Amino acid sequence: MEFTGLLSHEQFLYDMIGLLGVLCYVCSYGALQLGRIDGNSLQYCIANGCAATLVLISLCNDFNLASAIIQVVWITVSLVGGYRYLRGRRFRSTAI
């Protein structure tokens, strides 16, 4: 009986992590649509990378291959976008 309670708490934790990831996705996309952040900004890359990471962590409890693949793709795209932002910023600052 106690073991079932532990699994329930573990499931709750993974669900909360996943929901936090969804909240990050929704907030970053909402901020983008409202013009609060730029789609090429480092903040947008970080928000989406964090969102995808949190959702991917939540999948450790109840794995879904398709969802895991899309989260890995979003993490990769976010890392590439962040790298491009930082690289472009470095080139702009040295050109001045």
Per-residue pLDDT of 8-26, as tens digits, reads 899 999 999 999 999 999 9
Q: What range defines the domain where residue 80 resides?
A: 2-95
Structural domain count of the chain: 1
63 SS3 class: coil
* 27 compared with 1, residue with greater pLDDT: 27
**CB 52, CB 71: distance < 8 Å:** yes
Please give the pLDDT value at position 1: 44
pTM equals 0.85
**CB 7, CB 57: distance < 8 Å:** no
Per-residue pLDDT of 23-66, as tens digits, reads 999 999 999 999 999 999 999 999 999 999 999 999 999 999 99
